[in-house]
Structure 1
Amino acid sequence: MSRRIEFTANYTRPAAEIHRTLTDEGFWRNRVEQGADKGLTLARLTAGEGTIDVALAQDIDKAALPGVVSKILKGELSITRGEVWGPLTDGKAEGTFSTTATGIPINASGTATLVDTAEGSTLTVEGDVEVSVRLIGGTIEGLVTEQILGILAKDQEVVEEWITANS
C-alpha cells in the first residue's frame, strides 16, 4: 500500500525564473552548504543547458526519529532526495522526484510540473510514498508524507529567497 503526495506552490515570479533557479548548480551547492551542519551532502549533480539531475543525501540521527521508526530501523538511516528537471519550453517544465532511504525500506517518487500563470507560476508535485514494513508501514508512510510536504513548503521559501538575493 502507498500514500499519495500532492503539493502546489504558487509563485509571484514567472516559470522562467523558478526554473532557472531549480536548474542552477549554485543554488543546489548553496543548499548543501546551508545544511552541512545537519549532515547534508551532495550525492549527485549533473547540469546541462536548462536541465539538472541532482540528489542530496543526509544521515538522520536515530534519536531524532519517532519511536515507531527507530524501533524498526536496521542500522543507520540515510535519506537521499533526487530531482530531475527538463528544459523550460513555452512556459512549462517537467521534472521528477525520488526519495530513498537506507535502514528502512522507504521509496517516494513522482512528477513535478512548473507552468506560467497570470499571477506568476505554479509548481505542482504529485507522487506516492511507500514504506514496505508489515503492520506499521502505513503509519510510517504518513510520517514520511508529512516530512516530504514540509520539505516542499520549505523549498518554496528557499527558491524565493535565492531569486531575491541573486536577481
Structure 2
Amino acid sequence: MATKLQHPVTYPLSLDRVRAAVSDRAYWEALAASVEKSPGEVKSVDVSGDQVTVELTQRIPSDKLPSVVTSLVSGDLAIERTMSWTFSSDTAAQGTFHATVPGTPATTEGSFSLREDGGTTVAEFDGSVTVRIPLVGGKIEKLISQNMLTLFDAERDFTVAWDDEKG
C-alpha cells in the first residue's frame, strides 16, 4: 500500500527565476555537491523549448539513516531521481518526479504544478511513496515521505540562495 505525498512549497521568486535555476546544469551540480559527506552526481540536464528534464543521483550519508533503513542497505543511500518540467506559460508549469533506491523495492513518484502570483511561485506536489516489504514497508514509506517533504523545502531554500547569489 502506498503512502500519499502532498506538499505545497512557496518560493519568494517569480516563475521565470525558478525556471532559470532548474534549467541551469551548474545549479544541479551545486545542489548535488551540497551534501558534503556524500555528494551526488548529475547525470543529465536536458533543456528543450519549454521542457526541462533532470536526472541525478542524490546520496544520504549512512549516519543520517534510521536503523530500519540501515538494516536493509549498507553504506550511504543512493537515490536515483528524475524531474521534468513543462513551462506552459509565463506564470504556470507542470511536472513529474520519480525516485528509486537501486536494489530496493522503494519508489516515489508523482506530479507537481507551479503557479506564479505577484512575484511568488507556489509549487504543489502530489504523489506517493511505495515500499514493497511485508510488515515494515509502511513504516519505511512514512520515513521516506517525511524526508521528501524536508527535501522539497530544502531545495526551495537552496534555489532562493542560488538566485540571491546569481543576483
Number of residue pairs matched? Answer: 167
Residue of structure 2 equivalent to 1:29: 29
- Compared with structure 1, are the counterparts of its residues 75 and 154 closer, same or farther at alpha carbon in structure 2 (3 Å cutoff)? closer
Q: Which residue is equivalent to 1:51? A: 51
Instruction: Give the Cα separation in 1 of the matches to 2:32 and 2:92.
Output: 27
**Cα 1:8–1:60, aligned 2, differ >3 Å: closer, same or farther?**
closer
**Uncovered stretches (5+) of structure 1, i.e. residues with no partner:** none
The unaligned stretches of length 5 or more in structure 2 are none
Q: Is the 8 A contact 2:62 2:70 kept in 1?
A: yes
Aligned to 2:163: 163
The structure richer in helix per residue is 1
* Aligned-partner residue type, residue 103 of structure 2: G
1:88–1:35 Cα change, 3 Å: farther
- Give the alignment's TM-score, normalised by structure 2: 0.88
Structure 1 counterpart SS, 2:89: coil
SS across alignment from 2:165: helix
Output the CA distance in 1 between the equivalents of 2:96 and 2:77.
23
Q: Secondary structure, in 3 states, of the residue corresponding to 2:35?
A: helix
Q: Report the CA distance between 1:89 and its aligned residue.
A: 1.0
Using the aligned pairs only, state the percent identity. Answer: 23
C-alpha contact 2:38 2:76 (8 A) present in aligned 1: no
* Aligned counterparts of 1:88 and 1:66: Cα–Cα separation in 2: 40
1:61-94, CA deviations, whole angstroms, 9 ceiling, x for partnerless residues? Answer: 5454222222233887421122111124141011
Match of 1:109 in 2: 109
Q: Please give the alpha-carbon distance, in whole angstroms, between the structure 1 residues aligned to 2:61 and 2:12.
A: 37
Does the 8 Å CA contact 1:75/1:103 hold for their aligned counterparts? no
Q: Please give the per-residue CA displacement for 1:30-66, whole angstroms capped at 9, x wherever unaligned.
A: 2233336413111232222343211221344545422
